């Protein structure tokens, strides 16, 4: 490189240096420390003694709560990801209309997506109250006895999925932006050939937005496997609710790390979760050419 090219390269490195420093300090180094610590008996206060695969052996043979938390998380992912994806697409199709006041409806449906944190979870705890909650009150108006929601092991996970469906506005906005880039000429040609709304949805709309659906499925799956805040806030002292029905993987890992101070074991759990997410992402990438159309 000549002098000018070297100067430009140095300026480029200077501008990207905050990201590089942040990635090394807060991503790569903690991941490396976690990988090493997963093979030790580290408990924060003592030195790290190498114990080989003992943490992983104990995880799959002696820790019943590990299997329970893994089951709860997989159950949540299997239901949450398809429902929220379908809900986002459905709302986007409905709101992709050129009618008066449509921007107001788009804003209303998007607003829940920008609300987050403990306040939202407390609000939903009130809504899901078996005796005085708004949801059971509305159900009683039509003669339906509402469930106990967060107090019934059979309804705790559906309650959280219902809460997630309330905030699909973020995905809806993503799909809506994609739908508005679909050429109108395709719909006009389909109408000339006699295609109705459902055929246009099936043969034009859905195929053309499959890249965004694929992206949403990948990110939603990774996010669903990391569910933690909801269960931690909405169960007493983060215990996982009735019959451990809300003891998700990350919550169990948190309890092992910062309640039992079994940090080496928690690091091993994080490594297993990382492997699960990597494998599922790889499978999704391999299956993508069969249904994603670019």
Whether 116 has a pLDDT exceeding 80, the answer reads no
- Write out the two tokens for 25: 């300090």
Summarize pLDDT for 166-179 with one digit per residue, the tens: 989 999 999 999 99
- Residue 284's pLDDT is 94
Instruction: Count CA within 13 A, CB hemisphere, residue 164.
Output: 25
For residues 46-51, give the mean pLDDT: 86
Integer Rg of the chain from CA: 24
pLDDT number for residue 61: 93
Q: How confident is the model at residue 237 (pLDDT cuts 50, 70, 90)?
A: confident
Q: Using the predicted structure, report yes or no on whether residue 221 has a pLDDT greater than 90.
A: yes
pLDDT confidence band for 13 (50 / 70 / 90): very high
pLDDT at 101: 86
Average pLDDT over every residue of 25-48: 91
Neighbouring C-beta atoms of residue 215, cutoff 10 Å: 14
Rounded CA-CA distance 272/266 in Å is 10
Residue 15 scores a pLDDT above 80: yes
- Show Cβ contacts of residue 208 under 8 Å, excluding neighbours closer than 6 positions: 178, 182, 186, 293
Q: Residue 209: its pLDDT value, please?
A: 94
Kindly tell me if the per-residue pLDDT of 113 is higher than 90: no
How high does pLDDT run on average in the chain?
A: 92
Share above pLDDT 70 across residues of the chain, in percent, rounded to a whole number? 100
- pLDDT band at 86, cuts 50/70/90? very high
Calculate helix-pair angle for 54-61, 263-291, nearest 10 degrees.
70
The DSSP call for residue 50 is B
69 neighbors 238 (Cβ within 8 angstroms): no
- Model pTM score: 0.91
Looking at residue 210, its pLDDT comes to 95
**Span 236-240, mean pLDDT?**
83
């Amino acid at each position: 490189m000549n002098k000018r090219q070297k100067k430009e390269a140095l300026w480029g490195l200077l501008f990207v240096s905050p990201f590089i420093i942040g990635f090394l300090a807060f991503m790569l180094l903690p991941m490396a420390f976690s990988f090493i610590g997963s093979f030790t008996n580290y408990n924060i206060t003592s030195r790290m003694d190498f114990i080989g695969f003992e943490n992983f052996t104990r995880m799959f043979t002696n820790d019943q709560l590990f299997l329970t938390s893994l089951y709860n998380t997989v159950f949540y992912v299997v239901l949450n990801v398809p429902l929220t994806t379908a809900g986002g697409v459905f709302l986007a199709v409905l709101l992709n209309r050129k009618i008066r006041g449509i921007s107001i409806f788009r804003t209303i449906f998007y607003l829940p997506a920008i609300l987050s944190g403990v306040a939202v979870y407390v609000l939903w705890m009130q809504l899901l109250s078996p005796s005085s909650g708004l949801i059971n009150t509305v159900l009683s108006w039509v003669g339906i006895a509402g469930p106990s929601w967060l107090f019934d092991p059979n309804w705790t996970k559906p309650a959280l999925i219902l809460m997630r469906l309330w905030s699909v506005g973020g995905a809806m906005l993503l799909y809506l932006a994609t739908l508005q880039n679909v050429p109108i000429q395709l719909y006009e040609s389909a109408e000339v050939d006699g295609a109705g709304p459902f055929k246009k949805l099936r043969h034009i709309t859905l195929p053309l937005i499959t890249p965004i659906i694929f992206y949403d499925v990948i990110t939603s799956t990774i996010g669903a496997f990391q569910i933690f805040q909801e269960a931690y806030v909405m169960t007493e002292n983060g215990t996982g609710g009735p019959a451990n029905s809300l003891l998700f993987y990350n919550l169990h890992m948190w309890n092992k790390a910062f309640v039992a101070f079994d940090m080496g074991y928690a690091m091993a759990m994080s490594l297993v979760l990382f492997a699960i997410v990597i494998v599922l992402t790889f499978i999704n990438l391999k299956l993508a050419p069969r249904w994603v159309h670019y």
